[in-house]
Amino acid sequence: AQTVTQSQPEMSVQEAETVTLSCTYDTSENNYYLFWYKQPPSRQMILVIRQEAYKQQNATENRFSVNFQKAAKSFSLKISDSQLGDTAMYFCAFMDAGNMLTFGGGTRLMVKP
């Protein structure tokens, strides 16, 4: 069974600064996908960024980028130029060929003005 661990329950960052959220996972699979989801108070899970394990290049989406270290089974999210609207719960998630998402426990991010 896959496991996903987010070691930072809560983090805070000043507006316009950069913050990095950590995620590690454990799997014996070679082909899989990794995701970061954002859950604001509206409760809807919003996809932030995803990474295919077979791709060595780190994914980037505007202010969001990941540091994917496959050998270390690490998948961290970097948010640059943090904005107040980035305040939310962030979940790291893993998916293998079984199409089931396994989520980490989440990191609550607070962006301070």
Query: Is residue 67 within 8 Å of 74, Cβ to Cβ?
Result: yes
Query: Is residue 102 within 8 Å of 33, Cβ to Cβ?
Result: no
Q: Which stretch binds other proteins (CB under 8 A): 8-16, 20-28, 35-43, 70-78?
A: 35-43
> Closer to other proteins at the Cβ: 55 or 112?
55
Q: Which of residues 52-91 bind other proteins (CB under 8 A)?
A: 52, 91
Q: Which stretch binds other proteins (CB under 8 A): 19-27, 61-69, 73-81, 104-112?
A: 104-112
Closest CA to 72 of 7, 24, 2: 24
Q: How far is the CB of 64 from other proteins (least distance, A)?
A: 15
Q: Does 44 bind other proteins (CB under 8 A)?
A: yes
Closest CA to 1 of 23, 34, 25, 36: 25
| Opening angle at CA 67, ends 62 and 69, nearest 5 | 150
Which residues have CB under 8 Å from 42's CB, separation 6+? none
| Out of 9, 28, 30, 42, the residue judged to bind other proteins by CB under 8 A | 42
Q: Which residues bind other proteins (CB under 8 A)?
A: 33, 37, 42-47, 50, 52, 91, 95, 97-106
